[in-house]
């Protein structure tokens, strides 16, 4: 297959491309504008492959997108290009409307024209895979909201094929049927793009697939996001700013598990279907920060505990309190399950940052100095 990956120089897109080049015989065209979040260094280990091509293109530029499609004739598109940081969307929503909504619309229209002109198997087998987030669903009840005695967080599935989640007595999770209720400019722009993709399927018959995934973590994550920010600040002895009480719950998934899931969906998913992807790892932000501090203490011991650097700051405006994904559909229908537990994945992640501090320095130079974003509201 020849796959066109948009946003392939970003955190998840680069993991997808590394996975494809390292584990399949497929070809990849990486279409990326290279914003502050895009970095070709994240692809250094695969960029010499004959099966990899890079196109520096903005998805909002219709003529350029048309050219790339005509020139490379992809069998499928995996659409990851987006503005992705909630805090930046609070400070400047315009870019999110432009890339996430107008850009997705532009890509859909270009794809529709390209797909329409295809023939035979190439047309029948073509797929447009839109990669989205669980944040489109808004937030879920938090354990501290629940007065009822005995209600607890959902338990992980008991084994393969089980996956019965959100049972009586447990807090609910997001399923593919959960109504959309986005809270931030970021999640609202992603929700809009999801609606456009479904409309292009229903109205024009474009063969689409959608995935909504929980918070990812792992190597090559831009240092504005919680986990790399905390690791880098801790190593420099800087404060570890935790929003509000730090009790917000996210369902963490190791990025390489997400990449494997996406590659399965684009090849084996049912046209028109949505698959939720998650890691069965519900953790409060403060627990994540404690874990990072403790692993650092082990790998880079210092006299004073890294935990002493933790400081609380004003909460993010509109901050969602809890996300949790019921991933039983993709587990049952496509046989995907995460390979990493939070404990194994987070340890690998800390080790990766310790080994790649030069990458962190280079991607931050001239773009971001780990200052607080999105506080204004």
Residues with catalytic function:
134-135, 186
Shortest reach from residue 240's CB to ligand NAD, in Å = 20
Shortest reach from residue 126's CB to ligand NAD, in Å = 21
| Residue whose C-alpha is closest to residue 2's, from 55, 60, 81, 63 | 55
- Alpha carbon distance, N-terminus to C-terminus of the chain: 45
Please select the residue that binds ligand NAD; options are 89, 104, 106, 216, rule is CB under 6 A.
216
- Report whether 194 contacts 180 (CB < 8 A): yes
Shortest reach from residue 98's CB to ligand NAD, in Å = 7
Please select the residue that binds ligand NAD; options are 4, 17, 29, 38, rule is CB under 6 A.
38
Shortest reach from residue 313's CB to ligand NAD, in Å = 21
Would you say 12 or 346 has its CB closer to ligand NAD?
A: 12
Kindly indicate which of the ranges 65-73, 82-90, 238-246, 335-343 contains the residues binding ligand NAD, using the contact rule CB under 6 A: 82-90
- Under the binding rule (CB under 6 A), the answer on residue 108 touching ligand NAD is no
| Residue whose C-alpha is closest to residue 266's, from 190, 338, 195, 207 | 207
Shortest reach from residue 72's CB to ligand NAD, in Å = 15
Shortest reach from residue 223's CB to ligand NAD, in Å = 11
- Under the binding rule (CB under 6 A), the answer on residue 9 touching ligand NAD is yes
CB-based contacts of 227, cutoff 8 Å, min separation 6: 217, 221, 288, 292, 346, 349
The position carrying tokens 């996430």 is: 100
- Under the binding rule (CB under 6 A), the answer on residue 81 touching ligand NAD is yes
- Under the binding rule (CB under 6 A), the answer on residue 88 touching ligand NAD is no
| Residue whose C-alpha is closest to residue 172's, from 194, 154, 145 | 154
**Count of alpha carbons within 13 angstroms of residue 323, beta-carbon side:** 29
Would you say 59 or 309 has its CB closer to ligand NAD?
A: 59
**Count of alpha carbons within 13 angstroms of residue 143, beta-carbon side:** 14
- Under the binding rule (CB under 6 A), the answer on residue 269 touching ligand NAD is no
- Under the binding rule (CB under 6 A), the answer on residue 111 touching ligand NAD is no
- Under the binding rule (CB under 6 A), the answer on residue 59 touching ligand NAD is yes
Please select the residue that binds ligand NAD; options are 103, 185, 218, 278, rule is CB under 6 A.
103
Strand partners, 239: none
Binding residues for ligand NAD restricted to 119-138, rule: CB under 6 A: 131-133
Kindly indicate which of the ranges 21-29, 31-39, 199-207, 354-362 contains the residues binding ligand NAD, using the contact rule CB under 6 A: 31-39
Residue 71, burial from CB neighbour count under 10 angstroms (0-12, 13-18, 19+): exposed
SS (H, E, C) 238-299: CCEEEECCCCCEEECEEHHHHHHHHHHHHHHCCCCCEEEECCCCEEEHHHHHHHHHHHHHHH
């Amino acid at each position: 297959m020849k796959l066109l990956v948009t946003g392939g120089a970003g955190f998840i897109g680069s993991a997808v491309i590394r996975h494809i080049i390292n584990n399949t015989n497929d070809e990849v065209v990486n279409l990326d504008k290279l914003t502050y979040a895009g970095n070709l260094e994240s692809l250094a280990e695969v960029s010499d492959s004959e099966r990899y091509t890079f196109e520096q293109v903005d998805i909002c530029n219709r003529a350029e997108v048309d050219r790339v499609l005509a020139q490379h004739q992809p069998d499928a598109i995996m659409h990851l290009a987006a503005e992705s940081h909630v805090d930046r969307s609070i400070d400047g929503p315009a870019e999110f409307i432009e890339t996430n909504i107008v850009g997705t619309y532009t890509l859909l229209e270009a794809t529709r024209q390209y797909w329409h002109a295809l023939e035979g198997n190439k047309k029948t087998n073509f797929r447009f895979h839109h990669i989205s987030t669980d944040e489109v669903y808004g937030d879920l009840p938090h354990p501290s909201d629940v007065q009822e005695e005995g209600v607890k967080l959902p338990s992980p599935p008991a084994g393969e094929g089980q996956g019965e989640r959100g049972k009586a007595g447990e807090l609910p999770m997001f399923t593919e049927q959960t109504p959309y209720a986005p809270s931030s400019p970021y999640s609202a722009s992603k929700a809009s793009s999801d609606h456009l993709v479904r409309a292009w399927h229903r109205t024009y018959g474009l063969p689409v697939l959608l995935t909504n995934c929980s918070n990812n973590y792992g190597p090559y994550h831009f240092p504005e996001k919680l986990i790399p920010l905390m690791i880098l600040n801790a190593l420099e002895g800087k404060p570890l700013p935790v929003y509000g009480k730090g009790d917000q719950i996210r369902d963490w998934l190791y990025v390489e598990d997400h990449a494997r899931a996406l590659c399965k969906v684009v090849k084996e998913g049912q046209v028109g279907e949505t698959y939720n992807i998650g890691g069965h790892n519900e953790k409060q932000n403060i627990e994540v920060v404690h874990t990072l501090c403790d692993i650092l203490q082990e790998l880079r011991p210092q006299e004073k505990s890294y935990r002493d650097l933790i400081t609380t700051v004003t909460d993010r405006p509109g901050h969602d309190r809890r996300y949790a994904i019921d991933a039983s559909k993709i587990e049952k229908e496509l046989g995907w399950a995460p390979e990493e537990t939070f404990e194994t994945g987070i340890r690998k992640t800390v080790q990766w940052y310790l080994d790649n501090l030069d990458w962190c320095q280079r991607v931050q130079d001239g773009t971001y100095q780990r200052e607080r974003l999105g506080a204004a509201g």
